[in-house]
Amino acid sequence: MPTFFETFPVVLVDEEGIVRADVPFRRAESKYSVEQVGVTVEFYGGELNGIWMLKLNLELSKKWEIQLQGNRQ
């Protein structure tokens, strides 16, 4: 996992609010790491804090595809 993600904690929950996977601030603190639980997550588009996210694929195979575009005008 790229070290870029060590600064952005993420918790993935299902529709019932149950934690299924996490990407913590520090990898050593992970209880449900994406690699351990084997989840597949796909986000297509969205905006977070003024930054437009085009595509993010997170797969068990550790294939990362991240495309970010700067602030939308």
pLDDT score, position 17: 76
Q: What is the pLDDT of residues 1-58, one digit of tens each?
A: 555 545 566 677 777 877 767 666 566 666 666 666 666 666 555 666 666 655 545 5
For the chain, the structural domain boundaries read 3-71
Are the beta carbons of 21 and 9 closer than 8 angstroms? no
47 compared with 72, residue with greater pLDDT: 47
pLDDT score, position 44: 59
How far is CA 39 from each of CA 11, 55, 58, 68, rounded to the nearest angstrom? 12, 17, 8, 22
